[in-house]
Amino acid sequence: MKRVVIIGGGYAGIYALGELVRNKNIKITLIDKHTYHNLQPEVYDLIANNSTFADVTIDLTTLCKGFDHDHLDFKNLKVRKIDQQAKKIYTEEQEIVEFDYLILAAGTRTFFPSSIPGLNNADDIKKLHRAITFKQSFETQLFEKVRDEVKQCADTHIVVVGAGLSGVEIAAEMAYYSNKFFKRGNFSCDNLKISLISSSSSILPGLKQDLINISQKRLKDLGINVITGIKLQEVGEGYCKFSNGTRIQHSFVIFTGGIEASTVSSELDVARNGRGQIVVNEFMQTDKYENIFAVGDIAEIKNSAGEIMPPNVTIARISGANAGINVLRLMDGRPLIKCNPKLDGILIALGGKFAAGDIYGLLTVKGRLAYEIKKYVFSSYRRPLLKLIKKGYAKLKRL
């Protein structure tokens, strides 16, 4: 029986799994160091108290049980080494997993440049446990402001460094949440400030100008101080120092200024780019091993025009499904299918029930309409997964 291993239970890994389970005569193992699939785009709702932990995670154990496949296992392990010659995966838990075909879908992590002193003290909300810790710290500070407002009204200043999608969305959600909090309670100590820092000349570099304009106006309406064209140089105790010589006092620093591939990518002797992403061909295969595929954020994926695609959910979905299909075709000796990923649009959460979006490059939407489209897209992805985990949960309870 052929053995297929997927490392990473994120969007790309799950879409690959969805294709692989069509073959009932293979052994499939999903490995992840976490027990859950983190619905990353919705973590900002968690921080803003619009959702709970259960809303932004999918349990991988029950998900795997929900698939009708007798030879599918989930292993909660941390990969330490991959021996591509021996086709073995070594883990921190001393368990060895063997494979005939391997799909790497371990994603990326926030890149913290070592050249910036003190940056390791910044919050990384891409990691769910760090996002929850930040949420708790932020709410504690809000409570202390209310508790002490008669005696003192100390400034609370959140500095978000990085004005790409992640930075803009978290700044907007935090501002909307805090504004609603102080207005609802009519608290006098409502001096929370949020600054969004971009090293580029604008926010959301690379996106269409109308999306930038909509987002810029929304951030201004939310009271966010947007500063462009400066770079973070140092994070000190209670202050940030920037390239133009300014120092900004802070209560929290959130860093969203770039990504790098998961360390799993370095375990393979294959071509990688400067961010550590694995360079793949049009079939999602690595350059040296036809039986090893890389998908989602951990891979450098190009479209048919040779353009590098951005790491996002759409590309993860397309590349993951393509790799799953091609593993099955490779087993059967059939021609592989080229992956030609296309972005079907972009949607930006901008606080509360307000969003901005570009639909297929043809239509720009904003406000409540864009928000409802974004929620629909998310629910369309989450709904079938919820059916699977409910089915898996019922199976586990019968054991």
Local confidence pLDDT in tens for the 399 residues of the chain = 999 999 999 999 999 999 999 999 999 999 999 999 888 767 777 777 777 778 888 999 999 999 989 999 999 999 999 999 999 999 999 999 999 999 999 988 777 888 888 887 777 777 777 778 877 877 787 777 667 665 666 678 889 999 998 899 989 988 988 888 767 656 555 667 899 999 999 999 888 999 999 999 999 999 999 999 999 999 998 899 999 998 998 888 888 877 777 888 888 889 999 889 999 999 999 999 999 999 999 999 999 889 999 888 889 999 999 999 999 999 999 999 999 998 888 999 999 899 999 988 789 999 999 999 998 988 888 899 889 999 999 988 886
Q: Which of 212, 179, 204 is nearest to 193 (CA)?
A: 179
Residues 129 and 238 in one domain: yes
Question: How far does CA 272 lie from the centroid of its chain?
Answer: 20
Interatomic CA distance for residues 376 and 29, integer angstroms? 31
**pLDDT at site 217:** 97
pLDDT at residue 156 in the model: 80
Q: Kindly state the DSSP code that residue 339 receives in the 8-state scheme.
A: P
Rounded Cα distance, 212 and 206, in Å: 9
- Residue 174 is predicted with a pLDDT of 87
User: Does residue 214 sit in the same domain as residue 288?
Assistant: no
Provide the β-strand partners of residue 81.
90
The answer to whether 360 and 51 have CB atoms below 8 angstroms apart is: no
Residue where a domain stops, chosen among 343, 363, 391: 343
- Predicted TM-score (pTM) of the model is 0.89
Structure tokens at 386: 């919820």
CA distance 226 to 111: 22
pLDDT for 191: 67
CATH number of the domain encompassing residue 276:
3.50.50.60
Which residues face 203 on adjacent strands? none
328 and 216 both lie in a single domain: no
* Neighbour count for residue 179 (Cβ, 10 Å): 18
pLDDT at 33: 94
Residues 294 and 242 in one domain: no
Same domain, residue pair 203 and 283: no
Query: What is the DSSP code string of 278-313?
Result: EEB-TTSBBSS-TTEEE-GGGEE-B-TTSPBPPSSH
State residue 96's pLDDT score: 97
CB 171 within 8 A of CB 219: yes
The answer to whether residue 290 sits within a structural domain is yes
Nearest CA among 18, 28, 103 for reference residue 71: 28
What percent of the chain is helix, strand and coil (3-state, nearest 5)?
A: 35, 25, 35
| pLDDT value, residue 121 | 73
By DSSP bridging, strand 355-359 and strand 192-198 are unpaired
Q: What is the pLDDT of residue 189?
A: 57
What's the pLDDT at 149? Answer: 61
Q: How many Å is the maximal CA-CA distance in the chain?
A: 75
Task: Give the pLDDT of residue 125.
Answer: 73
Tell me: do 296 and 313 sit in the same domain.
yes
* 393 located within any domain: no
CB of 315 closer than 8 Å to CB of 282: no
Give the separation between CA 212 and CA 165, rounded to whole angstroms.
11
Q: How many domains, the chain?
A: 2
Answer yes or no: are the C-beta atoms of 234 and 117 closer than 8 Å: yes
Residue where the block lists tokens 């790309």: 12
The residue from 199, 227, 255 where one domain ends is 255
Range of the domain at 13: 3-33+77-110+259-343
- In tens, the pLDDT along 161-183 reads 999 988 999 899 889 888 887 67
394 lies in some domain: no
Q: Is residue 215 part of a domain?
A: yes
Residue 396: the pLDDT is 87
Single residue among 208, 224, 255 that ends a domain in this structure: 255
Answer whether residue 66 is part of any domain. Answer: no
Residue 44 — φ and ψ, nearest 5°? -65, -35
Please report, as a single letter, which amino acid is at residue 117: P
The answer to whether residues 308 and 302 touch, using CB atoms and an 8 Å cutoff, is yes
**Cα–Cα distance, 292 to 302 (Å, whole number):** 17
**CA–CA dist 7, 4 (Å, integer):** 10
Residue in the block written with tokens 């890389």: 294
* Residues 304 and 206 reside in one and the same domain: no
Q: Has residue 195 been placed in a domain? A: yes
Kindly state whether residue 223 falls inside one of the protein's structural domains: yes
Q: Are residues 247 and 278 in the same domain?
A: no
249 with 264, same domain? no
Pair (106, 145) in one structural domain: no
Q: Both 101 and 175 in a single domain?
A: no
Q: In whole angstroms, give the CA distance from residue 60 to residue 76.
A: 9
Same domain, residue pair 22 and 100: yes
Domain assignment of residue 373, yes or no: no
DSSP class of residue 48 equals: T
